[in-house]
Amino acid sequence: MDFTERNSHEIDYRIFGEEMQFVEIELDPQEAVIAESGSFMMMDDGIKMDTIFGDGSQKDQGFLGKILGAGKRILTGESLFMTAFYNELSGKRNVSFASPYPGKIIPLDLNEFRGKFICQKDAFLCAAKGVSVGIEFSKKLGRGLFGGEGFIMQKLEGDGMAFVHAGGTMAEKTLQPGEVMRVDTGCIVGFTQDVDYDIEFVKGIKNSIFGGEGLFFARLKGPGKVYIQSLPFSRLANRVIASAPRNGGNSKGEGSILGGLGDLLDGDNRF
């Protein structure tokens, strides 16, 4: 990609916090940042919010082109619309976006990745206006049939800054040419465009039936850089659901050596 004429807005940023981070974007006059709905945290006076089709990266694609570009986002489970935040005043203004759950915010300068980065469909947080947020289509049928969680990937393209979120602790791995890594599909945050990725079946009938893990994992082959998260949102949600009281009751057994028996002894026998 030719970066002699910059397409994306050139934004500055600061990341605050440890476990629950947020990123503060500094906007010069007429600069803008785009974000998914639900990530906004706060902004200075003088910033205008505008709902746009898709990511607003293409200025002259016409109405049909905007519809088609935005429609692709449905395949990733996202909304047709994104929100753009513009600085309309003459001075610098700040707008902040928060992590959706405990983890780390990863800043990505797409210039350093030759204009493209591939990430989980729910990892994207925000980006400079001009960055394209699309779908990374797979050329291998196996990924579509068996990929499940982590299969539908997004691609971030352009010459600006983008920010993605990793749940829990983030691991950054640099794969050498031919080096292979196997990862739980949900634990992938993203990787550079040179990484070859596929879905692989877990070998061994005992592993498949009794292992307690998924039947498939992602096979990543270098060269390239890979970002991995220790706490995918789906894993966090499953733990919360599994721990929730059944039938709307209050659990009295948490933290007790009696566990569920404590509920029975306490008179709570709603199962």
What are the boundaries of each domain within the chain? 12-243
Give the integer Cα–Cα distance in Å for 157 and 267: 59
Lowest mean pLDDT among 42-56, 58-72, 110-124, 227-241: 58-72
Instruction: Say if pTM beats, i.e. exceeds, 0.75.
Output: yes
CATH architecture of 12-243: 4-Layer Sandwich (3.60)
Q: Confidence class of residue 212 from pLDDT cuts 50, 70 and 90? A: very low
List of residues 6+ apart from 1 with CB closer than 8 A? 114, 115, 116, 157, 159
Which is higher by pLDDT, 247 or 45?
45
Q: Are 152 and 214 in contact (CB under 8 A)?
A: no
Which of 57-61, 234-238, 248-252: highest mean pLDDT?
Answer: 234-238
Q: Contact at 8 Å (CB) between 109 and 161?
A: yes
| Phi, psi torsion values for 159, nearest 5 degrees | -130, 25
